[in-house]
């Protein structure tokens, strides 16, 4: 496709398709591995996919995507082609300040048939800066030195590592996009700021000077309006930090909780007045606006290391519905791998990530959560059972694609006047 036909903005979209199951609001039934759409309807398919296209140095991802021969990129592209989402959020897609990597991924992988899967075109894309790897100038992990990923505003070896992008078949309303990269953690009322266990003072892990610069988002939070016919659906994209890799202060666990809380407040009238975007605009969504919350939230409802069931802030919201995407492949994997999975309380068919069997085991961490104004027509996770030939795309460790699975939900967008 000619680049002139594309939107001039770049977005991190990590929307992914789950092909081994479909789900309604509360239940799921088996579906063919192709995840073909129902012939009687053509809903909007929204997906999220942490495709693990992160690299160790700036420019490395672009180099890998420039030839069209990178095995991992071909595999994740095939998964996207077979899921065929209309809008997708890509997590862990390095952004180095330009749209070059997103363009290369579209040109050389998505728009080229992979292993017989139909090529897919996304004329519209959005990308924006991430807090990952951006130096804070402070010793945020309190190890006595300043510098490195732990002292950046979001963990990363370089600026834009583990970034995001949104891809869409429908127009992105560029002049109405809101980003919240610079929102300060301290400005969230009742923030779960970390506490230094070596002192008696509360919430004092960060100094007063550090609190004046410490940002809430480990990557960013984006409100990306997508025009579907005559209606607008707000794609709310993020990738909270994992609630691990810290100490007794639990700074990452608390940050994960509040990064998730941000969207819960943003979509709830009366709770979003404190929010400000990077352009100074205040408040959240009105009750009349439709949305889908997307991303690797790094939080399981029942298992793993989340603080106070962090994801329940979204799952229990009156404005949000949980289609509970699931797959037979996830249930099979938990049974075959055993280990920590055997002690889990959650339904293994809902898992979206294949993590270490010792700890934490497989978890549900990737979500597509529509507003209640959108009717759910189907949902699933791209996690084929081992007897399915498509299981070669997900595989076992070391994974040919990612340790996360593409998650998708089909929603019907009401027509004007309906």
326: domain CATH number is 3.60.10.10
Measured CA to CA, the distance from residue 268 to residue 176 in angstroms comes to 19
- Expressed in angstroms, the distance from the first to the final Cα of the chain is 35
In a domain, 417, yes or no: no
Give the pLDDT confidence of 292-309 residue by residue, as tens digits.
999 999 999 999 998 888
In a domain, 146, yes or no: yes
State the total domains in the chain: 1
Contact by Cβ (8 Å): 251, 205: yes
364: confidence class by pLDDT, cuts 50, 70, 90: very high
Rank 38-42, 308-312, 368-372 by mean pLDDT and report only the highest: 368-372
Phi, psi of 284 (to 5 degrees): -120, -150
User: Helix or strand or coil: residue 144?
Assistant: coil
Measured CA to CA, the distance from residue 259 to residue 237 in angstroms comes to 11
Q: Is the pLDDT of residue 227 over 60?
A: yes
Task: Return the pLDDT at 2.
Answer: 34
Q: Which residue has the tokens 């439709």?
A: 290
Q: Is the pLDDT of residue 3 over 70?
A: no
Give the pLDDT confidence of 187-221 residue by residue, as tens digits.
999 999 999 999 999 999 999 999 999 999 999 99
What b/e string do you get for 295-310 counting C-beta neighbours within 10 Å, with b at 16 or more?
bbbbbbbebbbbbeeb
- Average the pLDDT over 73-101 and give the result: 95
Give the pLDDT confidence of 22-44 residue by residue, as tens digits.
333 333 333 444 455 443 335 89
pTM, two decimal places: 0.91
Measured CA to CA, the distance from residue 372 to residue 291 in angstroms comes to 9
Sheet containing 366-370: give its strands across: 178-179, 221-228, 231-238, 290-296, 366-370
Give the pLDDT confidence of 124-165 residue by residue, as tens digits.
999 999 999 999 999 999 999 999 999 999 999 999 999 999
Record the tokens describing residue 277, joined without a space: 């975007």
Record the tokens describing residue 304, joined without a space: 């793993």
Q: Domain range for residue 366?
A: 3-412
- Average the pLDDT over 253-281 and give the result: 97
Record the tokens describing residue 402, joined without a space: 């990612």
- 168 closest CA partner among 11, 42, 381, 2: 11
Measured CA to CA, the distance from residue 233 to residue 318 in angstroms comes to 18
User: Helix or strand or coil: residue 399?
Assistant: coil
- Average the pLDDT over 82-100 and give the result: 93
Task: Return the pLDDT at 13.
Answer: 32
Average pLDDT of every residue of the chain: 90
- Average the pLDDT over 318-330 and give the result: 98
Task: Return the pLDDT at 43.
Answer: 85
Measured CA to CA, the distance from residue 363 to residue 361 in angstroms comes to 6
Measured CA to CA, the distance from residue 152 to residue 134 in angstroms comes to 5
Task: Return the pLDDT at 30.
Answer: 36
Please give the share of the chain, as a percent, with pLDDT higher than 90: 87
Task: Return the pLDDT at 415.
Answer: 77
- Average the pLDDT over 304-321 and give the result: 95
Task: Return the pLDDT at 16.
Answer: 32
Task: Return the pLDDT at 416.
Answer: 66
Measured CA to CA, the distance from residue 157 to residue 149 in angstroms comes to 5
Task: Compute the Cα dihedral for 344, 345, 349, 352 and give only its sign.
Answer: negative
In a domain, 418, yes or no: no
């Amino acid at each position: 496709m000619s680049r002139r036909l594309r939107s001039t903005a770049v977005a991190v979209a990590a929307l992914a398709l789950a092909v081994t199951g479909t789900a309604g609001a509360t239940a799921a039934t088996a579906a063919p591995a192709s995840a073909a759409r129902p012939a009687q309807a053509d809903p909007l398919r929204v997906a999220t996919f942490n495709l693990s296209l992160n690299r160790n140095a700036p420019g490395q991802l672009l180099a890998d995507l420039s030839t069209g021969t990178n095995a991992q990129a071909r595999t994740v592209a095939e998964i996207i082609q077979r899921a065929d989402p209309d809008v997708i959020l890509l997590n862990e897609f390095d952004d180095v300040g330009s749209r070059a990597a997103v363009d290369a991924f579209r040109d050389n992988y998505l728009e080229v048939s992979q292993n017989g899967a139909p090529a897919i075109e996304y004329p519209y894309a959005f990308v924006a800066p991430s807090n990952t790897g951006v130096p804070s100038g402070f010793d945020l992990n309190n190890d006595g030195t300043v510098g490195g990923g732990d002292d950046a505003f979001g963990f990363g070896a370089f600026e834009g590592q583990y970034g995001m992008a949104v891809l869409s078949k429908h127009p992105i309303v560029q002049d109405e996009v809101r980003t919240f990269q610079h929102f300060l953690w301290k400005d969230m009322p009742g923030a779960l700021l970390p506490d230094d266990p070596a002192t008696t003072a509360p919430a004092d892990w960060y100094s007063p000077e550090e609190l004046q610069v410490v940002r809430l988002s480990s990557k960013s939070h984006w409100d990306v309006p997508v025009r579907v016919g005559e209606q607008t659906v707000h794609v709310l994209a993020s990738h909270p930090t994992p609630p691990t890799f810290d100490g007794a202060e639990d700074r990452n666990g608390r940050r994960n909780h509040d990064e998730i809380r941000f969207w819960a407040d943003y979509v709830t009238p009366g709770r979003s007045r404190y929010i400000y975007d990077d352009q100074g605009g205040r408040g959240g969504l009105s009750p009349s606006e439709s949305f889908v919350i997307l991303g690797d939230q790094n939080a399981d409802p029942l298992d793993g290391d989340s603080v106070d069931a962090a994801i329940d802030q979204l799952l229990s919201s009156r404005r949000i519905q949980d289609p509970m995407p699931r797959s037979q492949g996830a249930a099979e994997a938990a049974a075959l791998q055993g280990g920590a999975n055997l002690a889990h309380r959650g339904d293994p068919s809902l898992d979206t990530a294949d993590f270490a069997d010792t700890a934490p085991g497989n978890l549900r961490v990737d979500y597509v959560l529509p507003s209640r104004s959108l009717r759910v027509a189907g949902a699933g996770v791209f996690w084929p059972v081992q007897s399915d030939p498509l299981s070669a795309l997900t595989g076992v460790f070391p994974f040919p694609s990612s340790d996360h699975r593409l998650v998708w939900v089909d929603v019907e967008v009401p027509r004007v006047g309906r």
